[in-house]
Each structure stands twice: as structure tokens, then as C-alpha cells.
Amino acid sequence: MRDLKLPDQRHPEKAHRPDNAQPKKPAWIRVKAPGGAGYNKTREIIRENRLSTVCEEAGCPNVGECWSQGHATMMIMGEICTRGCTFCNVATGKPQALDAFEPGRVAHAVATLGLKHVVITSVDRDDVADGGAEHFAQTIRAVRHRAPETTIEILTPDFLRCDDSALEVVVAARPDVFNHNLETVPGLYPTVRPGARYFHSLRLLQRVKELDPTIFTKSGIMVGLGEDRQGVSQVMDDMRSADVDFLTIGQYLQPTPKHHSVERFVTPEEFASYEKSAYGKGFLMVSATPLTRSSYHAGDDFARLRDARMAKLG
């Protein structure tokens, strides 16, 4: 039996990579250890419904804060990914078959937690013909049925090896926000995101708007991987050309010595500069801080995003 708590079994594709030193985190990136009544209640609900969360699987630094408020990002289609991105702490390998009852369990957890806004993400499932598109759609419909007042944000794979109809299935289920992260600048894709294609991911976001202009689109990148400021600015321009509404920028943190190294810690002042630049390029909403992650404060940000669109439309 594979034990995902053991690094060599969790990331077999990285086991023979040389170790990269993990630099000491600066004061602005440190967070409190998770705990407390709210955190424990959220964890209990997640366990009772046999669900995975990206909060745990990816080692998110904000898990303590979010779970203490009852906010958890559901990760569907299992806990093993078919890709081996060098930045990611989600386990890599051959996943099990999709669980037909999972959409119902996600919906039950959303209702039990009383979420006003839920973020649903997944592993990559290149082993499934549609990349898990129908499973995403079923989960969206289940949440709509069980918690009709909850707004739904999805963070999807790139559906790189699927027919174009896969994206159409997800969009037809009408999530409120469609998020797909570009993750980094195109020049770093061969080493950071080798299984993906930058312009395919960009086109995916553009197609969402073409299929349903009312859906908010969102994308994010990490900094500190070796990119430069000009590269980040170009990614912003590319996202705007695809009519992306919401941009997130956060500091990359190295999960283990086998993962991609942290080239530098970007200062809060630089993040503020990125935010100012992004708003100047026309994004409706921007979150750019060292601890920003795709689903961090997602509910509050969605409310501001919706208000920003209304203000733009007059």
C-alpha cells in the first residue's frame, strides 16, 4: 500500500532529484500553527465526508486561518495527480477511478459548513477521457441543488489532452467563477510546469468568456521562482488579452528540498507595486500579497469582484 505521508512515495518522480536548499522565511511570510475550535470543526466535517482539500494536500500556509472560519477548498477526483509539476506538493502517480458519490458528499459538506462561497478544485486527471469535466459539472449541480444560495468558484485543470467539448461541459454547468492558474511566466514552464502549455492555458481562459461572457474568469501566478518583473508584466497583458477579470499573485514556497527552489522572497512593497500595475491594466479585481493563494479570502473577493463589474457597467 502506498503511503502518501512518505516523501519518496508521495513524489516518486522527484525522489532522485538533487536537494534544493530551503531558505529561511522572512518575517512577513510566517503564519501561526493551525488550531482552535473552528479549525477542528472544519476538519471533522471534511473527515466525516471523506473529502480531500487542496489546503492540506498542497500544504497551504493559510489553512489555519481559513479553516478556523469554516472555509475549506474542496479537491475532487482524488488526491493523486497525473502531472508532476516541480512546485506542487500534491501527490503524483496513477489515481483511482472517479467516485460517483463524491459530488453529493461535497454538496453535503458545503451545506453543513454553511458556506456562502465555495471553491472547488481538482487534481489533473489525464487518465480520464474528458479530464474530469463531467465530474466537475456534476459537483457544481449537486452544490446548486443542496446549497442554492452558495456561489461557486472552480479551479480547473487545463484539459490539455481532451476534446474541446470538455470545457463546454464545465461552462454549461455555470459556475460563478472559472479559475485556471497560469502559475508562472512562459519561459519557466519547461522546469516548473513541464506537463502544461502556457498558450493552451491562456486560450482556455479566453474560451470560457467566449462560451459564456457572464462567468467571471480568474487566474494566478507565483513569484519567486526565477521570473523577472518584465515577464510578470507580460503575463498580466496576456491575461487581459484573454479578458481575465481577477488576478492573484502570491509568493512561491518550496514544499520539500526535492521541489523547485525559491529563488527569492518578493517584498510586500513589490507585491503592492504589482497590484497597482495590474489595476492599471484593467483587471476588475487583484490580490497580490506574499500569502495570496487562489482561494484565500475568495468569498470576500468575489463580493468585491461582483461590485466592480456593476460599477464598470454603470
Which residues contact residue 212 at a Cβ distance below 8 angstroms, ignoring those fewer than 6 apart?
171, 174
Residue 198 grid cell: 502556457
Q: Of 285, 197, 200, give the one whose Cα is nearest residue 240.
A: 285
pTM for the model stands at 0.93
pLDDT at 96: 93
**What confidence category does residue 298 fall into, taking pLDDT thresholds of 50, 70 and 90?**
confident
Query: Cα-Cα-Cα-Cα dihedral of 138, 57, 294, 192, to 10°?
Result: -110
pLDDT at 58 over 70: no
Average pLDDT value for residue range 103-131: 94
pLDDT at 9: 80
Task: Return the HEC string of 38-83.
Answer: HHHHHHHHHHHCCCEEHHHHCCCCCHHHHHHCCCCCEEECCCEECC
Euclidean distance between CA atoms 124 and 97, whole angstroms = 13
Enclosing H/E stretch for 305: helix 298-313
**What confidence category does residue 33 fall into, taking pLDDT thresholds of 50, 70 and 90?**
low
Poorest-pLDDT segment among 25-34, 149-158, 159-168, 184-193: 25-34
Tell me if 157 sits within 8 A of 201, measured CB to CB: no
Instruction: Give 151 or 56, the one with higher predicted confidence.
Output: 151
Average pLDDT value for residue range 70-97: 90
pLDDT tens-digit profile of 188-222? Answer: 999 999 999 999 999 999 999 999 999 999 999 99
Tell me if 251 sits within 8 A of 293, measured CB to CB: no
**Across all residues in the chain, what is the average pLDDT?**
91
pLDDT at 83: 94
Alpha helix positions (H), 130-188: 133-146, 165-172
pLDDT at 279: 97
pLDDT at 70: 63
pLDDT at 104 over 70: yes
pLDDT tens-digit profile of 222-274? Answer: 999 999 999 999 999 999 999 999 999 999 999 899 999 999 999 999 999 99
